[in-house]
Amino acid sequence: MNTESCPVDHTRPADPVTGCPVSANAAAFDPFGDVYQADPPEAVRWSRDGEPVFYSPSLGYWVVTRYDDVKAIFRDNITFSPSIALEKITPVSDEAIATLERYDYAMNRTLVNEDEPEHMPRRRVLMDPFTPDRLAHHEPMVRRLTREYVDRFVDAGKADLVDEMLWEVPLTVALHFLGVPEEDMATLRKYSIAHTVNTWGRPSPEEQLTVAENVGRFWQFAGTVVEKLRRDPSGDGWMPYSIRKQQEYPDIITDSYLHSMMMAGIVAAHETTANAAANAIKLLLENRTVWEELCADPGLIPNAAEECLRHSGSVAAWRRLVTADTTVGGVPVPAGSKLLIVNSSANRDERHFEDPDTVDVRRDNATEHLTFGYGSHQCMGKNLARMELQVFLEELTRRLPHLGLVPGQRFTYVPNTSFRGPEHLWVQWDPAANPERSDPAVLETRQPVRIGEPTTRSLSRTLTVERVDPAARDVAEITLAAPDGAPLPSWSPGAHIELELGEVSRQYSLCGDPGDRGRYRIAVLRDPDSRGGSRYVHDRLCPGTTVAVRGPRNHFRLDTDTRHHVFVAGGIGITPILAMADAVRAAGGSYELHYCGRSADTMALLDRVRRDHGPRLHEHSSDAGTRLDVAALLAEPVDGTRIYACGPQRLLSALDTASAHWPEDALRVEHFTTAGHELDPAAEHAFDVTLADSGLTVRVAPDQTVLAALRAANIDVPSDCEEGLCGTCEAAVLDGEVDHRDVVLTRAERSAGTRMMTCCSRACGDALTLGL
């Protein structure tokens, strides 16, 4: 290797075996080989584990594989220019260049590979057709096409889903969306694959000629279509829209852009989605129990689509050019370096996703995957792709729930670094068992499609009541388990679950043992004024009944840096407090537990509390005249002490008043709801939110939350409670004063002004700048 031109730092410790600063794994990295093609994130696991930024001599690229590094690169499109995103990764032979020249091939910048300051104005001008509001009218078309294709093979018993549906439906949807007349599908498929191989593949010199021919024809086809649309640009679709916008903004929407985008757009909108759908169905059928869960509960489909994009997305890696000497993950990378950022690997990074190799369709943060990129170039078509994936999964799980993979098939992939999906996907089923044969209503059913990123709020799992035990007068302790005994999601002290109880849903803190992955335990007080929740629990839940459960979620976390814990529970508020006290006791921490109630017989779980916390327990019973003196308890502030409290509002308010002279954050209380998260548009003002990572400015109307305005502008922000309780929708604040309305941030965090909850908090003035 010529060390003068080699970008690797030769002062780094050399590999003990080869003596070279490029490690053996890095030297062997081959993104066109079978191992990478079979499973890109698995192929670079070694890198995620130990060498997350490495130079690949055979590729001439630096390769980046961890979540934080990949996201940081996507976030900074100035230091990391996207200009090489569509560059041919394999040097082109002279003959292939000559062939392309014969077709006047002049592929230029589009959006995905355009630098600033040109990119953002173009993106802004062309974004409108991609926003959730504008996409809604495509849903009937996506559904009609999907049904037509399923109709063709539903009685056959065997199909190659790629050839018979997943290639053509996204292509037709793409053509509709773009406003391009439907052309010969087989030819377009050939062209698309040629474009992929041309851009991200490693064709042999002979293959390069065939590829160049097809790319050249694709280029000419794109030119003809643009000319045709120019003659009458009044039609529907993104390309006629772009041509109309060219009349308004000729310097932003150039001729060269339109011709290039016509070609790149078909590939961007089509192949990515076709591959994503094939990957998703393959993944779900390989994880049969997950497939069956979707068949039983289609409400899981939006998040399942997202989890499939995370686990087995269709864009495995993307590229950036380094414009100034910098460091990536602590490794110096000089200006001019090319980066292969393996987003599929980032999506399986356990530093960001818990248990990342498992397919978990209820995963809270599945939408944080980087398959659509991130920041100012993030995929504009993501919500159209999400819609297609949801409709495909819904139609197939409903009409062919008994679908299975044809055993023994070998999956093949078009060898390339970036676009990934099986070339064929053979499935089989027994047509005699098709549900629509016995129940034609199956054909009429449909699940509302969620346009935009899914919310995990609606995701529930059905649990069985294992036991109901008396825990005090009018208090029942309910033990829940999965019907098949499978382990339940883990939880930490302070967490709660939400039960669907007939017409209402109610949240209850978990009070069992977090180490017991098979069971959840809650205690429920019968409330005489119950509007259905506690009455339902007491009257209807008995061993063997089932109940839909959401969560667990934790808005009431125990801090690990607390020197002494003062736990205060009022009545049924003992449930989260008990789990916390158990945890501190098990860890050998210092604590005291104050348990207040009317009388001993009304105090839930008192036997257990006495047994496990006797020496630290202070019982306060109003009947016995041993009421807690809150003012005396908190008279002297103690450094490093925190007070954790749950109980009636009266008790919490008294603690709040009594701890006013304590350090900031000393008092932690459990909130299940917040007052004032309802918006009163008459009392609010509009303001602008500028997004530093995405380069957008979004107007927030008086009747809109920041979260809603961001989503309407196609920016994904994860959310959960949407009332300022959980912290999921947090965004970094770079400029502007925030009107905080959540209960997540402490007083000190509020006055620092560097974070906000976008679901409820607003701007004090006219503008905010967020790190999104």
CA distance 45 to 621: 58
Closest CB to ligand HEM among residues 381, 422? 381
Q: What H or E segment, with its residue span, contains residue 553?
A: strand 546-553
Q: Which stretch binds ligand HEM (CB under 6 A): 190-198, 375-383, 459-467, 590-598?
A: 375-383
**Least CB distance to ligand HEM at residue 80 (A):** 10
Among 450, 742, 745, 762, contact with ligand FES (rule: CB under 6 A): 742
Query: Which among ligand HEM, ligand FES, none contacts residue 606 (Cβ within 5 to 8 A by kind)?
Result: none
**Alpha carbon separation from 404 to 155, 312, 407 (Å, rounded):** 15, 18, 8
Q: Does 82 bind ligand HEM (CB under 6 A)?
A: yes
Q: Does 269 bind ligand HEM (CB under 6 A)?
A: yes
**Least CB distance to ligand HEM at residue 82 (A):** 5
Structure token pair of residue 564: 């002494």
Closest CB to ligand HEM among residues 225, 315? 315
> Scanning residues 171 to 230, which ones bind ligand HEM (CB under 6 A)?
177
Structure token pair of residue 331: 């490794």
Burial grade of 82 (CB within 10 A; 0-12, 13-18, 19 or more): buried
Q: Does 276 bind ligand HEM (CB under 6 A)?
A: yes
**Least CB distance to ligand FES at residue 508 (A):** 19
Q: Which residues pair with 328 in a beta bridge?
A: 331
Query: Which among ligand HEM, ligand FES, none contacts residue 67 (Cβ within 5 to 8 A by kind)?
Result: none
Among 378, 447, 505, 674, contact with ligand HEM (rule: CB under 6 A): 378
Do 697 and 690 form a contact (C-beta atoms < 8 A)?
Answer: yes
Q: Does 459 bind ligand FES (CB under 6 A)?
A: no
Query: Which among ligand HEM, ligand FES, none contacts residue 138 (Cβ within 5 to 8 A by kind)?
Result: none
> Scanning residues 92 to 111, which ones bind ligand HEM (CB under 6 A)?
111
CA distance 418 to 342: 9
Closest CB to ligand FES among residues 421, 727? 727
Half-sphere exposure of 680 (CA within 13 A, CB side): 4
**Alpha carbon separation from 549 to 89, 364, 513 (Å, rounded):** 49, 15, 18
Query: Which among ligand FES, ligand HEM, none contacts residue 670 (Cβ within 5 to 8 A by kind)?
Result: none
Do 305 and 393 form a contact (C-beta atoms < 8 A)?
Answer: yes
Among 40, 41, 302, 381, contact with ligand HEM (rule: CB under 6 A): 381
Tracing tokens 């009541």 back to the chain, one arrives at 465
Closest CB to ligand FES among residues 451, 721? 721
Among 65, 172, 314, 641, contact with ligand HEM (rule: CB under 6 A): 314
Q: Does 705 bind ligand HEM (CB under 6 A)?
A: no
CA distance 739 to 717: 19
Do 509 and 496 form a contact (C-beta atoms < 8 A)?
Answer: yes
Tracing tokens 């009747």 back to the chain, one arrives at 703
Do 464 and 549 form a contact (C-beta atoms < 8 A)?
Answer: no
Q: Does 142 bind ligand FES (CB under 6 A)?
A: no
Q: Under the phi-then-psi rule, with left for phi > 0, alpha for psi from -120 to 50, and beta for the rest, what region is 452?
A: left
Q: Does 316 bind ligand HEM (CB under 6 A)?
A: no
**Least CB distance to ligand FES at residue 744 (A):** 6
Q: Which stretch binds ligand FES (CB under 6 A): 235-243, 410-418, 597-605, 714-722?
A: 714-722
Q: Does 562 bind ligand FES (CB under 6 A)?
A: no
Among 361, 725, 745, 770, contact with ligand FES (rule: CB under 6 A): 725
Q: Does 120 bind ligand FES (CB under 6 A)?
A: no
CA distance 372 to 661: 49
**Least CB distance to ligand FES at residue 706 (A):** 10
> By CB under 6 A, how many residues form the interface with ligand HEM?
27
> By CB under 6 A, how many residues form the interface with ligand FES?
14
Q: Does 392 bind ligand HEM (CB under 6 A)?
A: no
**Alpha carbon separation from 749 to 21, 667, 691, 745 (Å, rounded):** 45, 15, 21, 6
**Least CB distance to ligand HEM at residue 400 (A):** 22
Q: Does 759 bind ligand FES (CB under 6 A)?
A: yes
Query: Which among ligand HEM, ligand FES, none contacts residue 742 (Cβ within 5 to 8 A by kind)?
Result: ligand FES
Q: Does 51 bind ligand FES (CB under 6 A)?
A: no
**Alpha carbon separation from 179 to 176, 191, 266 (Å, rounded):** 5, 19, 11
CA distance 555 to 567: 16
CA distance 541 to 469: 11
**Least CB distance to ligand HEM at residue 288 (A):** 24
Query: Which among ligand FES, ligand HEM, none contacts residue 729 (Cβ within 5 to 8 A by kind)?
Result: ligand FES
Closest CB to ligand HEM among residues 315, 569? 315
**Least CB distance to ligand FES at residue 726 (A):** 3
**Least CB distance to ligand FES at residue 555 (A):** 8
DSSP string, 555-610: SSPPPTT-SEEEEEEEGGGHHHHHHHHHHHHHTT-EEEEEEEESSGGGSTTHHHHH
Structure token pair of residue 553: 């979620």
**Least CB distance to ligand HEM at residue 398 (A):** 22
**Alpha carbon separation from 237 to 145, 265, 288 (Å, rounded):** 17, 12, 38
Q: Which residues pair with 478 in a beta bridge?
A: 468, 522
DSSP string, 249-306: -TTTS-HHHHHHHHHHHHHHHHHHHHHHHHHHHHHHHHSHHHHHHHHH-GGGHHHHHH
Closest CB to ligand HEM among residues 384, 537? 384
Closest CB to ligand HEM among residues 273, 530? 273
Interface residues toward ligand FES, by CB under 6 A: 719-722, 724-729, 742, 744, 757, 759
Contacts with ligand HEM by CB under 6 A lie at: 74, 82, 111-112, 123, 177, 268-269, 272-273, 276, 313-315, 318, 371-375, 377-381, 384-385
